[in-house]
Chains A and B, each alone.
Chain A
Amino acid sequence: MNISTIANLKFFYIKTKNISLFLSIITLILFIIGLYWGLFIAPPDYLQGNSYRIMFIHVPAAWLSLQVYIIMAVTAFIALVWRVKIMEIISIQCAPIGGLFTLIALVTGMIWGKPTWGTYWVWDARLTSELILLFLYIGVIILYSAFTDKRQAVKVTSILAIIGLINIPIIHFSVEWWNTLHQGPTVTKFEKPSAHISMLLPLLYMLFVFNMCFITILLKRIRLGIFQREKNTKWAEDYLND
């Protein structure tokens, strides 16, 4: 089985039906375990008490919001250069998921900010760039939906996604550039993470679970996208009639 067979839309759609169901169940179980670990087993923070536990949602969501944008831009690049149909669909379907993660990161951050900083929102560099990331996602979604000719929409949206990738470094390094209210990174310090291991482990686990969530939702959306694009072909009609 070579790569072009997997990239074939019909083949992909039919083969992934069971995988998608399997992934959904696994992810749900992993997610419940992760929530229990983060909310009940992990020790309370000596400074922030229990309110820090929202971190187990906030940090993975914020991380994923960047990661999904990179995936979207890279697949858009592959779709533009090598004209791979499945990559076009992946790139477009990444946008709403990434937007959702960005929204989750923003909302959980606001909820956490009230007891910790005393305010829901500050115009801090990092918060602002996350908000701009949300606008970038919205731009991609709106631009795609504005075109009636979806082949053209994919091309134009891909360019926008790739060019938007220059905003990602600005977001990521903004902490160092305009070091303001938002606390610095606690996981990626190479020498010694400043979070204790009993908090770090559930956090890393939640990061893995959020990646699983992303893959599960993406797979479902890819299948939806394939069906929307191929709805007038014979195999799609046969599939519906079965």
Chain B
Amino acid sequence: MIKTILLKELSIYIRNLNSVFLPLIFFFLIISIFPLVLGPDKVLLNKIIPGVIWITAILTTLLISNNFFKEDFNSGIIEIYLTSESSIELILFLRIISCWIFTCLPIIIFIPIVSLLFEIPFSSSIILVFTLLLGTPILISIGLFGSALTLGLSRNNILTPILIIPFYIPVLVFSASAIESVSIGLPYYSQIYILLALLMLILPTMPYLLKYTLEFSINN
């Protein structure tokens, strides 16, 4: 069952490679806009670029998750999920995971290259990758929750980000704090542990929450 769903998701993403590459290109585009706006000052850029990478990651996950359920909703697949015998929580869980693997993981893999471009020190780069590895699944899960909330609306382009950005704040605060700690040579374990705790809290509960939200969004 798990294998079937994962293979199906894999084939969907492979057939539609745009959905893998577009977030990556978007990410690089936004990152490269910042030096153009702020000027090529090395010291300034070096100071702010971890934050810039995090903000860009947030924008990318917002775009990825914005209309995640829309197509399935229009074609009626979600109703089939909800009425089927098999466990919808498992399906939703695997879809969150596969969405993260195919859209966020490529970005994280390319972080070392971004670090080279902006001359981020190795220690900061490592911790940036770590926080992104722990943080982006949370962002994706919350984003999918927002997408499920606004499913019943026909035009919801800017509404979903407004609803869910407040929920991103804790992840953002602890990631930024970890990166800052490492750059001034303080221990950063506590922030990483809190991020891990958030991830462990959100990943198992989110499929259930998504299920209820989808049910409420659909029966009208």
The 16 listed contacts between A and B (C-beta, < 8 Å) are: A136-B166, A138-B162, A139-B166, A142-B163, A143-B149, A143-B150, A143-B159, A146-B153, A146-B159, A149-B152, A152-B217, A156-B216, A160-B149, A163-B145, A163-B167, A167-B167
A132 within 8 A of B: yes
Q: Which residues of A contact B163 (CB under 8 A)?
A: 139, 142-143, 160
Contact assessment for A152 and B220 in the assembled complex, using a CB-CB cutoff below 8 Å: yes
A170 within 8 A of B: yes
Contact assessment for B216 and A142 in the assembled complex, using a CB-CB cutoff below 8 Å: no
Q: Is the interface of B mostly helix, strand, loop or mixed?
A: helix
Nearest residue (CB) in A for B163 is: A139
Q: Which residues of A contact B166 (CB under 8 A)?
A: 132, 135-136, 139, 164, 167
Nearest residue (CB) in A for B216 is: A155
Partner-A contacts on B (CB < 8 A): 145, 149-150, 152-153, 156, 159, 162-163, 165-167, 169-170, 209, 212-213, 216-217, 220
Q: Which residues of B contact A170 (CB under 8 A)?
A: 169-170
A139-150 Cβ-contact flags toward B at 8 Å (1 or 0): 100110011010
**The 4 residue pairs across chains A and B that have the minimum distance between CB atoms:** A155-B216, A139-B163, A152-B220, A132-B166
Total of A-B residue pairs, C-beta within 8 Å: 53
A107 within 8 A of B: no
Chain A nearest CB from B83 CB (Å) reads 19
A14-29 Cβ-contact flags toward B at 8 Å (1 or 0): 0000000000000000
Chain B nearest CB from A133 CB (Å) reads 8
A136 and B167 alpha carbons, distance in the complex (Å):
9
A224 within 8 A of B: no
A32 within 8 A of B: no
Per a CB cutoff under 8 Å, which of B162, B169, B170, B217 touches A156? B217
Residue of A135, A136, A156 most packed against chain B (CB within 10 A):
A156
- Give residues of chain A (94-134) contacting chain B, Cβ–Cβ below 8 Å: 132
